[in-house]
Structure 1
Amino acid sequence: MRAGPRRSNEPLAALAVNAALAFIALSTLAPLLWMLSVSLMQPGEASTQPPPLLPAQPTLANFHTLFARAGMGRYFANSLGLAAALTLLSGLFNVMAGYAFAKLRFGGRERVFAALLTTLVIPAQVAMMPLFLLLKTMGLVNTYGGVLVPGLAGVFGIFLVRQYAMNLPDDLLEAARIDGASEWRIFASVVVPLLKPIIVTLAIFTFLGSWNDFMWPLIVLTDGERHTLPVALAALSRERVQDNELMMAGSVVTVLPVLALFLALQRYYIQGLMVGSVKG
Structure 2
Amino acid sequence: MRKKPLQKVFLYIALVIGAIISLFPFYWALMGATNESGKMFSSSLIMLPGSKLVENIVNLNEQIGIGRVMFNSLFVSITYTILALLISTMAAYAFAKFQFKGRNVIFAIFLLSMMIPYHATVIPLFKMMAALGWLNTYQALILPNLAYPFAIFLMRQNMLAFPTALMEAARIDGAGEWKIFWKIVLPSMKPALAATAIFLFMFQWNNFLWPLVAVNTTDMYTFPVALSSLFGLSRIDYGQVMAGVSLATVPIIIFFLMLQRHFISGMLGSAVK
TM-score by length of 2: 0.93
- Which among 67, 84, 99 is matched to residue 73 of structure 1? 67
SS in structure 2 of the partner of residue 133 of structure 1: helix
* Identity level (%): 37
Q: Aligned partner of 2:162: which letter? A: L
Q: Aligned partner of 1:231: which letter? A: V
1:195-214 equivalences under 5 Å are 195-214=189-208
Please give the alpha-carbon distance, in whole angstroms, between the structure 1 residues aligned to 2:178 and 2:250.
37
Q: Post-superposition, which runs of at least 4 consecutive aligned residues in structure 1 deviate over 3 A?
A: 42-52, 56-59, 239-242, 276-279
1:58-137 equivalences under 5 Å are 59-68=53-62, 70-137=64-131
Give the aligned partner of residue 23 of structure 1.
Answer: 17
Q: Aligned partner of 1:180: which letter? A: G
Contact 1:86–1:148 under 8 Å retained in 2: yes
Please give the alpha-carbon distance, in whole angstroms, between the structure 2 residues aligned to 1:57 and 1:142.
38
Give the aligned partner of residue 3 of structure 1.
Answer: none
Displacement of 1:152: 1.5
SS in structure 2 of the partner of residue 41 of structure 1: coil
CA shift digits 1:61-113 (9 cap, x unpaired): 21233235541211111011000010011111110010011102233222222
- Which among 171, 183, 187 is matched to residue 181 of structure 2? 187
Structure-2 change in CA distance of 1:114 and 1:166 (3 Å) = same
Displacement of 1:260: 1.8
Q: Aligned partner of 1:38: which letter? A: G
Contact 2:92–2:159 under 8 Å retained in 1: yes
Please give the alpha-carbon distance, in whole angstroms, between the structure 2 residues aligned to 1:57 and 1:133.
48
TM-score by length of 1: 0.91
Structure 2 unaligned segments of length 5 or more: list them: none
Once the two structures are overlaid, the 10-residue window that deviates more, 165-174 or 219-228, is 219-228
Structure-2 change in CA distance of 1:114 and 1:277 (3 Å) = closer
- Which among 242, 247, 259 is matched to residue 253 of structure 1? 247
Q: Aligned partner of 1:86: which letter? A: Y
How many pairs were matched up?
Answer: 273
SS in structure 2 of the partner of residue 275 of structure 1: helix
Structure-2 change in CA distance of 1:239 and 1:76 (3 Å) = farther
Structure-2 change in CA distance of 1:16 and 1:120 (3 Å) = same
Give the aligned partner of residue 174 of structure 1.
Answer: 168
Give the aligned partner of residue 223 of structure 1.
Answer: 217
Structure-2 change in CA distance of 1:177 and 1:244 (3 Å) = same
Q: Does 2:129 align with 1:138? A: no
Backbone CA RMSD of aligned residues: 1.9
1:34-53 equivalences under 5 Å are 34-42=28-36, 44-53=38-47
CA shift digits 1:49-72 (9 cap, x unpaired): 434421344642212332355412
Displacement of 1:43: 5.2
Give the aligned partner of residue 147 of structure 1.
Answer: 141
